[in-house]
Each structure stands twice: as C-alpha cells, then as structure tokens.
C-alpha cells in the first residue's frame, strides 16, 4: 500500500479553553483531491492553517511524505505546500507582480520565473490582465489570479480554503471547471475546504467530514453521500443521490449516460466516453407505482430498502442499481402503500441532474 | 551675515536633523516591527507611552537632555553639552515616538491577511517584514515626513542643548531667533525662506517617493 503523502496524528488545538480541533488521524494520498467538508465554524480553516505551518497546534504530529515536521524542517516542509486563503488578498502592484511574488519568496531564478509566468498566464487566460492592478479586476478574474498564484509555484500540496466562496453562479461554474481541469493536469495533491455540497460533489476524489473540530467520516463521495455515518452527517450531506456513469452519447448538450446498468438522460457538455458523476436532490424525485407517460425522461425501477422520517417528510431509499433517495410526504407514503421491499418507479427530469465535469487533460502540460 | 555663514548654518541644520531622523529610523522601525508582530505583556502600555511621546514639548526634551549632559549631570563626563551631538540626541528623542507611532499606524493599515498569504506562499520572516514595509510604504514615508518636519523646525531643544554657538551649533531655527532678537529682520526673513525651501525640498523628495506607483490604479476618480 502506498504511503500517505500527509499524515496527521492526534492533532489538538484549543483557544480560551474551548476545543477547536481534535483530529485523531487524517491522511492524504498522492495526487488526490480531498474535500474537507463541514459547516462554518467546524474547525476546517484552523486545521488547514496548522498543517500549513501558519498556526501552531497544542499537540500532535504532522508527517509530510513520512518526514515528521519539527522546528528544524518547518520552512523546508512548508515550501512543499501552498495554502490559499478564503479571501483573495493581493499585494501592491500588478497581476504580474502578484503572480511572481511567491516565486521571488522561494528564490526561483528569472528565466524560470518568466517561463512559469507564460505557462500559467496561458492556462488561466490571464495574458490580457498581467499589467493591470488586481483592484481593477472582476470577482471571477481575481479568483483566477488567486488560484494562478498557487499553481505557478508548482507545489506538491495545495490547500484551498473555500476558494470559490461568494462568486456569482456564472463565475463559479467557469472557475470550478478550470480548477478541475488544471488540478487534474498538474496532479497536485489537494485539500479543498468547503461547506457547499455541490462543490464537494464536483471536485472530491475523497471526502472527509469535519464536525466540531473532529473528522467524523472519511470515504469516497458515494460512500459518504449514500451511507452517512450519523444523522448529523446525513443532514449535512443533504441526502443527495450521487452516481457515477459514462457518457454514451452526446448530442448538442443532451447526454445519454450509462450509470450502473441504467440509462440516464441529462444536460451537459461532456464528450462521449467521458466518466461523469451525476447528482440530484431527493426533493427532485417523483415516485409512482407504474411508469407513467410524462415529459420526465429518467425513470428507474427499484426496491424500497429504507423508510425514514426526515424533518417533516419521509426519506425513501431505493435500490435501482444505485442508491436513490427521495422525499415524499406521509400522505404519499400511505397512498402508494410504501413498505420495505416494495418495487416502485422513481422519476427525475433531465434538467434536475447536475453533472460533475470531466475533461480531456492530455493536451495540458504542467511542470518544468 | 555672510553667504558662507548661511551655507554653514543650513548645512548644519540638515546634518543634525538628518542624523536625528536616521537614528530614529534605525531604532524606531525595528521596534515598530516588534510592537506590531509580537504579542507580549505591557505592549499596550508601551504604545500609550509612544503616543504620548508624539506630543512631547521640545523644551521639555531639551531640559532633560541638558540635565543629562550638564557638567555635573550623569553623562557630564562626556563633555557633550553645547555640541551638535547633543542637538542630534535631543532631536532623536523628539523624532523617535513620531517615527514609531506613525509607522505603527501605517502597519495597522495593512490587511493582516496579506501577511498570512505571503507566509502561505513561502515567505520567510525577513521577507514578511520586508513585505510589510512595502505594503505600508505610503504611511512609512508619511511618518518620516512628519518626523523630519517636526525636528527641522524645532527650536527649543536645540537652543537649550546646543547653545546657538556661532560657527559651531548655530542652525537655521536658532539663527532666526537670534536675528529677530537683534532686529535684523531681513536676515531673519532670508533664513526663514531658506528653512521653508529646505523643508519643501525634502518633503517634495519624500512625497515623490511616496506617490511613486500610486497612479497605476486609475479609478475611481472624483470629477
């Protein structure tokens, strides 16, 4: 088994007698994007700052590629890492000055600086912005510069603290797609902190859930979304259904996807043969005893394996080859006479499906 | 008053105030960095003392420096009373709290997240401090401008510890007092114009440094 790139053991931090962090074990595998998911105030940012050596823990051990972090190797290890703050703050000067600042801190020579600047400007489409002040840029452009400032350093580890927070939906979609593409191409081992389910679903190779300073569940997206370890996590994950598939046909933005033996129709710009992850919310699902003739394109036949009260609704879990969740009212449960083991139809409109983007990354060159 | 005398007086004024400001920056700026970046007991008290010191009356400074260097004083053996060195020390004491106080205020204007981001991008302690100065350059130069203006125009302390000795400790401000007392208003006016011009030139130079690069961001502007 491959050794984790980062291991954290018994990390504890408290402030004014209040426990902020208590992480017994955490690991990060090579080239993965681990999404650290949790509500605001759960200790995610503190955790990132501590493992980036920007803040001191009360106790605990941090190992980078098997090397235990201590006072002597702190600077050396910290330079393997780039940590991006939640708020994009910029140094005085132009976009170019800002991009080069980290390279200057690390004493990278001028020809290398020039080479990396050219590559990153190209990759993040920043060529026309280089001589402008970051203060003149739009929110999306600033976020792009913020991210580029990390990638230009070609770090081994990239830690991002809610980097896409507060962006317009349009900017968010653009930048998250760019980030996904560039991160995959660079192969940088990443931790991304977020409290947004959609972001987690789009970007995570693996998910770690943090609640009240503790990592309460770690696993693949499907594991955490479909089998949350506690009701609290279940509430946090929003009961979204998540399923992996492959695009069988792509026609003018309308996709035919094969997912766990089922055919799913959705809207997206993915190409044929691409691997995708589909997500949809339980409130978008309709249930029926017979498959009706409606405009709803996706109908899945499955067996009820769980009926659970959830807030004022009933959460119905079906096995349709993948685990699907639906909210229905108590009246609907009675009318449909839903019981465990009963076979029913679940329908979802193609437009209600969100698709995690997949990209062709072969054409992007990264690294020296 | 001959041209040679005027040139000597002007040169000494520049020399004394320049040295005093230089020393105040050498001692004050590292102290400001410590005050800004470090957490320690008594920090608030020190900052309050610095802020009080910014309004220190020059004659009070002159009095204490005079007591210190008086022949029978604790440092009397150094024979520094009525020397340019004593004038530098007096002006240094006046300038120091101005440099620290205004410099600290300039640091406070810098978003702390910028420093954190710099660290996160790999900056060492030294690089972070350098960045702190770079980010607060406008405020830092304002601190130097204010401190220089404060000491070059100061008369009480230099008169008390320098003694206004001809060809030795006479500077522009003490000469203006002297010439006015003697009724030589034309000489006093000439000297005053030189003092003003000198003050303007130094401030113009520092302001040019301060404003360099400000025009990069073109908006928003008031029309």
Interchain proximity A91–B123, CB inside 8 Å? no
Q: A276-285 pLDDT, tens per residue?
A: 878 888 888 9
pLDDT category of residue A16 using cuts at 50, 70 and 90: confident
Task: Characterize the bridge pairing of strands A157-161 and A81-84.
Answer: parallel
What's residue A252's pLDDT? Answer: 87
Q: Which of A85, A106, A136 sits opposite B113 (nearest CB)?
A: A85
Check residue A125 and give left, alpha or beta (phi > 0: left; psi -120 to 50: alpha): left
Q: Is residue B217 domain-resident?
A: no
Ranges of each domain in chain A: 6-238, 242-356
- pLDDT by 10s per residue, chain B, length 223: 788 999 999 999 999 999 999 999 999 999 999 999 998 999 999 999 999 999 999 999 999 999 999 999 999 999 999 999 999 999 999 999 999 999 999 999 999 999 999 999 999 999 999 999 999 998 999 899 999 999 999 999 999 999 999 999 999 999 999 999 999 999 999 999 999 998 899 888 888 887 775 555 444 445 4
Q: Does residue A286 carry a pLDDT above 70?
A: yes
DSSP string for residues in A172-205: HHHHHHHHHHHHHHHT-EEEEEES-HHHHHHH-S
Work out the average pLDDT over A313-323: 88
Of A85, A92, A105, the CB nearest to B122: A105
> How far is residue A296's CA from residue A280's CA, in Å, rounded to a whole number?
14
Which residue of B122, B132, B135 to mutate against A (max A Cβ within 10 Å)? B122
Tell me the three-class secondary structure of A252-265, residue by residue: CCEEEEEECCEEEE
Establish if A246 touches chain B: CB-CB under 8 angstroms.
Answer: no
Residue A200 CB coordination number (10 Å)? 25
Assess A135–B contact: CB distance below 8 Å, yes or no: yes
> What are the C-alpha distances in Å from A140 to residues A91, A312, B121?
18, 39, 21
Task: Report the mean per-residue pLDDT for chain A.
Answer: 87
Across the A:B interface, residue pairs with CB atoms under 8 Å apart total 57
At A311 the pLDDT is 67
Chain B, nearest residue to A147 by Cα: B121
Whether residue A119 is predicted with pLDDT greater than 60 in this model: the reply is: yes
What's the confidence (pLDDT) of residue A343? 94
Superfamily of domain A6-238: P-loop containing nucleotide triphosphate hydrolases (3.40.50.300)
Chain B residues whose beta carbon lies within 8 Å of the beta carbon of residue A79: 122
Per-residue pLDDT, A358: 43
A133 contact residues in B (CB cutoff 8 A): 216-217
pLDDT at A90: 94
Q: Is residue B221 part of a domain?
A: no
Residues whose CB falls within 8 Å of the CB of residue A300, separated by 6 or more in sequence, listed in order = A262, A318, A320, A321, A324, A345, A346, A347, A348
Any idea which of A199-213, A217-231, B178-192, B202-216 has the lowest mean pLDDT?
A: B202-216
- A25-52 average pLDDT score: 93
CA distance B170 to B162: 8
Average pLDDT rounded to a whole number, residues A69-80? 89
* Cα separation, B88 vs B82, whole angstroms: 11
Query: How many beta carbons lie within 10 A of that of residue B206, not counting itself?
Result: 16
B223 falls within a domain = no
322-351 of A, contacting B, C-beta below 8 A: none
Q: Do the Cβ atoms of B120 and A84 come within 8 Å?
A: yes
A106 close contact with B: CB closer than 8 A: yes
Close Cβ partners of B17 (under 8 Å, ≥ 6 residues apart): B91, B148, B151, B152
Per-residue confidence (pLDDT) for residue B219, from 0 to 100: 47
Confidence class of residue A1 from pLDDT cuts 50, 70 and 90? low
User: What is the average per-residue pLDDT within A13-29?
Assistant: 93
| Residues linked to residue B164 through DSSP beta bridges, in sequence order | none
Residue B21, burial from CB neighbour count under 10 angstroms (0-12, 13-18, 19+):
buried
With a CB cutoff of 8 Å and minimum separation 6, the contacts of A183 are A33, A158, A190, A203
Query: Taking CB atoms and an 8 Å cutoff, what residues of chain B touch A74?
Result: none
Nearest one of A276, A241, A240 to A255, comparing CA atoms: A276
Task: Report how far residue A346's alpha carbon sits from residue A283's, in angstroms, rounded to the nearest whole number.
Answer: 12
CA dihedral of residues B193, B198, B199, B203 (deg, nearest 10):
140
Nearest to B131 by CA among B162, B107, B164, B152: B107
Strand ranges across the sheet with A157-161: A81-84, A157-161, A189-194, A33-37, A206-211, A214-219
pLDDT over 60 (residue A244): yes
Does the residue B28 lie in any domain? yes
Q: Rounded CA gap, A314 and A330, in Å?
A: 6
| Overall average pLDDT of the A303-326 stretch | 87
What whole-number percentage of chain A has pLDDT above 70?
95
Range A87-112 average pLDDT: 93
Instruction: Say if the Cβ atoms of A92 and B134 lie within 8 Å.
Output: yes
In the prediction, which pLDDT does B223 show? 43
Domain covering A242-356, topology: OB fold (Dihydrolipoamide Acetyltransferase, E2P) (2.40.50)
Q: Which of A124, A117, A121 is nearest to A102 (CA)?
A: A117
Residue A126 near residue A116, CB atoms below 8 Å: no
| Residue-range definition of the domain harbouring residue B198 | 3-212
Q: Are the C-beta atoms of A302 and A323 separated by less than 8 Å?
A: no
Residue B165 has a pLDDT of 93
Question: pLDDT per residue over A139-169, tens digit each?
Answer: 888 888 999 999 999 999 999 998 888 777 7
- For position A356, what pLDDT does the model report? 64
Our count of domains for chain B comes to 1
Mean pLDDT of A325-345: 91
| Cβ neighbours around A321 below 10 Å, total | 14
Question: Residue A29 — very low, low, confident or very high, per pLDDT cuts 50/70/90?
Answer: very high
**Is A75 in Cβ contact with B114 (below 8 Å)?**
no
| Sequence-ordered list of residues with C-beta below 8 angstroms from that of B140, at least 6 positions apart, any chain | B29, B103, B106, B133
Q: Supply the CATH number for residue B11's domain.
A: 1.10.3720.10
What is the C-alpha to C-alpha distance for residues B170 and B175, in angstroms, rounded to an integer?
6
């Amino acid at each position: 088994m491959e050794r984790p790139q980062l291991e954290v053991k018994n990390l504890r931090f408290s402030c004014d007698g209040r426990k902020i962090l208590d992480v017994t074990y955490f690991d990060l595998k090579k080239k993965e994007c681990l999404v650290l998911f949790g509500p605001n105030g759960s200790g995610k940012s503190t955790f990132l700052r501590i493992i980036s050596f920007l803040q001191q823990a009360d106790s605990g051990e941090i190992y980078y590629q098997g090397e235990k972090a201590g006072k002597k190797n702190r600077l050396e290890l910290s330079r393997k890492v780039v940590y991006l703050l939640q708020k994009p703050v910029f140094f005085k000067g132009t976009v170019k000055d800002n991009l080069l600042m980290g390279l200057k801190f690390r004493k990278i020579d001028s020809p290398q600086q020039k080479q990396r600047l050219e590559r990153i400007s190209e990759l993040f489409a920043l060529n026309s912005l280089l001589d402008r002040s970051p203060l003149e840029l739009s929110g999306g452009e600033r976020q792009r510069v913020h991210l580029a400032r990390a990638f230009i350093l070609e770090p081994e580890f990239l830690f991002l603290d809610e980097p896409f927070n507060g962006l317009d939906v349009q900017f968010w979609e653009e930048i998250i797609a760019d980030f996904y593409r560039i991160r995959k191409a660079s192969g940088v081992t990443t931790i991304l902190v977020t409290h947004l389910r959609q972001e987690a679903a789009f970007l995570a190779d693996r998910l770690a859930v943090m609640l009240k300073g503790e990592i309460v569940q770690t696993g693949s997206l499907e594991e955490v979304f479909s089998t949350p370890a506690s009701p609290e996590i279940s509430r946090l994950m929003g009961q979204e259904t998540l399923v992996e598939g492959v695009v069988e046909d792509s026609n003018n933005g309308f996709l035919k996807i094969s997912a766990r033996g089922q055919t799913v129709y959705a809207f997206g710009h993915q190409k044929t043969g691409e691997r995708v992850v589909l997500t949809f919310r339980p409130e978008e699902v309709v249930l029926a005893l017979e498959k009706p003739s409606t405009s709803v394109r996706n109908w899945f036949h499955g067996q009820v394996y769980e009926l659970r009260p959830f807030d004022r609704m009933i959460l119905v879990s079906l096995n349709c080859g993948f685990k699907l969740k639906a909210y229905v009212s108590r009246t609907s449960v009675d009318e449909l006479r839903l019981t465990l083991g009963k076979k029913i139809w679940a329908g979802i409109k193609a437009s209600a499906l969100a698709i995690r983007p997949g990209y062709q990354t072969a054409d992007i060159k990264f690294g020296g | 008053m001959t041209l040679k005398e005027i040139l000597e007086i002007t040169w000494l004024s520049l020399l004394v105030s320049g040295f005093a400001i230089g020393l105040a920056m050498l001692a004050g700026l590292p102290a400001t960095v410590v005050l800004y970046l470090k957490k320690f007991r008594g920090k608030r008290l020190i900052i309050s003392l610095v802020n009080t010191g910014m309004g220190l009356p020059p004659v009070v400074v002159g009095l204490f420096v005079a007591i210190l260097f008086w022949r029978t004083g604790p440092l009397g053996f150094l024979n520094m009373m009525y020397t340019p060195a004593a004038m530098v020390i007096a002006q240094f004491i006046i300038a120091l709290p101005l440099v620290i106080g205004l410099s600290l205020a300039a640091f406070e204007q810098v978003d702390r997240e910028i420093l954190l981001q710099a660290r996160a991008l790999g900056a060492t302690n030294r690089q972070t401090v350098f960045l702190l100065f770079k980010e607060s350059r406008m405020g830092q130069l304002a601190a130097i401008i204010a401190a220089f203006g404060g000491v070059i125009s100061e008369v009480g302390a230099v008169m008390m510890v320098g003694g206004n000795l001809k060809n030795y400790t006479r500077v522009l401000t003490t000469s203006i007092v002297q010439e006015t007392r003697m009724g030589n208003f034309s000489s006093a006016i000439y000297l005053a114009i030189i003092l003003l011009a000198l003050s303007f030139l130094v401030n113009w130079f520092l302001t040019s440094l301060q404003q360099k690069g400000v025009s990069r961001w073109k908006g928003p502007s008031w029309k």
